[in-house]
Amino acid sequence: MTKNILKLFTLAAIAIFIYSCGGENSAPGTTIKGQFLNAPNTQVFIDRMYIGKASEVLTSTSTDANGSFSINFPEGADKGIYNMRIGSNGRIGMALSGEEKVVEFTGDIKDVPRYGFEVTGSDDTKILRDVIREMIARRFNSTNMQQFIDTTSNPELGAFLAYMSMGNNGLDLQKKALDKLQKADPSSPTAADYASFIQAMETKKQSAPGGSGPISVGQPAPDITLTAPDGKEYSLSDLKGKIVLLDFWASWCRPCRAENPNVVKVYEKYKNQGFTVFSVSLDGSKQRWESAIEQDKLTWPYHVSDLKKWQSAPAALYGVRSIPRAFLIDRDGNVASTAVRGAAQIEAELKKLL
């Protein structure tokens, strides 16, 4: 009898030990956790990302005094692409398979804008991190993208990267990414969204043979009048007589933030030769918009936004469905180029107008 009782207690103790050793991993669903230096008591948001649509805020929390946080999805996180926002400057893309248990991030919040962080528990998120690092360093071109689309085991990740990096350009490459996604998962909501986005691109291209969208080279640039962060109102038409880079961007857009140094480089070189930049932000937060302007050293005065994200009126007016997107406008106020990107291309087109 005594031996049987001891045996039962021993088995119970072992069971409790095994259960307790599971620790955090025993929590149901998916847990997103991490610790970032220099990020105490900071808000953390997780958004679900979509192609051609505004992102959806799923949940939020705050870091503790040590910069640690933990967010749990009891039912698990669905397969898809997510964005984690840490404070006003930290943006981290996540590619989840739907089978992750614990995804953990570590690093210094100061390094996050250049994707300087570590991640465990999600192989596809590691891949996404590495690709975006290459994009930021401008070592990832259309050939690399084609190779990635051909070889990736996650066609949804391939589709999102093609969408993010190519925007309204590279239609054939984007069709290839869509085709692979549709074959892998015909019922994928992302595939349906991507198909709609590509169809819209094709329709606009057909309706405007001279341009890449509803805006054509040679036509007068439609006017934009909006307010700056300080409340001052600026109009694009007021800049007639200057060569203007009309730049659509946002603080939350990683490719935009990577492109900003190129815009700054050209601006600093030609600002005294009648060249300037008119920046239209697709932000929803004035604070994050202002912080990005300061951090990226965007020193020209013409920064405007209606703070409506993808419902931005100027974006609709110019047919902008992905960012960054930049137009070059000549001294007479006519559109000279409908899609310029990278310091070399901006400078080459600019020189034609000087």
Question: Distance between CA 69 and CA 164 in Å, rounded?
Answer: 28
195/309 same-domain check: no
Asked if 96 and 74 count as a contact pair (C-beta separation under 8 A), the reply is no
Which of these, 30, 155, 26, 24, lies nearest to 99 by C-alpha position?
30
126/237 same-domain check: no
332/295 same-domain check: yes
Is 166 inside a domain boundary?
A: yes
Is 8 inside a domain boundary?
A: no
Report the CATH number that the domain containing residue 346 is assigned in CATH. 3.40.30.10
- Give the domain extent around 344: 225-351
Give the burial string for 68-98 (b: 16+ CB within 10 Å, else e): ebbbbbeeebebbbbbbbbbbbbbbbbbbbe
pLDDT value at 16 more than 60: no
Is 79 inside a domain boundary?
A: yes
Is 218 inside a domain boundary?
A: no
Percent helix / strand / coil, the chain, rounded to 5: 40, 25, 35
160/75 same-domain check: no
Is 14 inside a domain boundary?
A: no
Query: Domain tally for the chain?
Result: 3
317/248 same-domain check: yes
pLDDT at 206: 59
Is 87 inside a domain boundary?
A: yes
pLDDT value at 348 more than 50: yes
Give bridge partners of residue 35 from the DSSP assignment.
Answer: 68, 106
173/239 same-domain check: no
121/162 same-domain check: no
pLDDT value at 349 more than 60: yes
What six digits make up the tokens of 172?
A: 């054939």
Could you report the per-residue pLDDT of 141-177, keeping only the tens digit for each? 778 888 999 999 999 999 998 887 765 567 788 899 9
**Residue 265 falls in which region: left (phi positive, over 0), alpha (psi -120 to 50) or beta:** alpha
Candidate from 25-34, 201-210, 258-267 with smallest mean pLDDT: 201-210
Asked if 97 and 124 count as a contact pair (C-beta separation under 8 A), the reply is yes
Question: Distance between CA 318 and CA 276 in Å, rounded?
Answer: 19
Question: Distance between CA 285 and CA 344 in Å, rounded?
Answer: 31
pLDDT value at 100 more than 80: yes
176/230 same-domain check: no
Contacts (Cβ under 8 Å, ≥6 apart) of 253: 282, 323, 324
Report the CATH number that the domain containing residue 114 is assigned in CATH. 2.60.40.180
- Tokens 């291309």 belong to 345
| Domain termination site, one of 84, 112, 134 | 134
* Alpha-carbon distances of 323 from 41, 109, 244, 327, 352, rounded to whole Å: 31, 24, 18, 12, 24
Is 17 inside a domain boundary?
A: no
61/123 same-domain check: yes
Is 108 inside a domain boundary?
A: yes
Say what angle helices 123-136 and 155-166 make with each other, to 10 degrees: 20
Peptide bond into 222 cis (omega under 30): no
122/106 same-domain check: yes
Candidate from 209-213, 216-220, 222-226, 253-257 with smallest mean pLDDT: 209-213
pTM of structure: 0.58
Contacts (Cβ under 8 Å, ≥6 apart) of 59: 45, 46, 71, 73
- What value does the mean pLDDT of the chain take? 86
325/246 same-domain check: yes
| Domain termination site, one of 99, 134, 169 | 134
| Domain termination site, one of 72, 107, 134 | 134
pLDDT value at 210 more than 50: no
Which of these, 267, 333, 253, 259, lies nearest to 300 by C-alpha position?
267
Which of these, 274, 248, 245, lies nearest to 345 by C-alpha position?
245
151/41 same-domain check: no
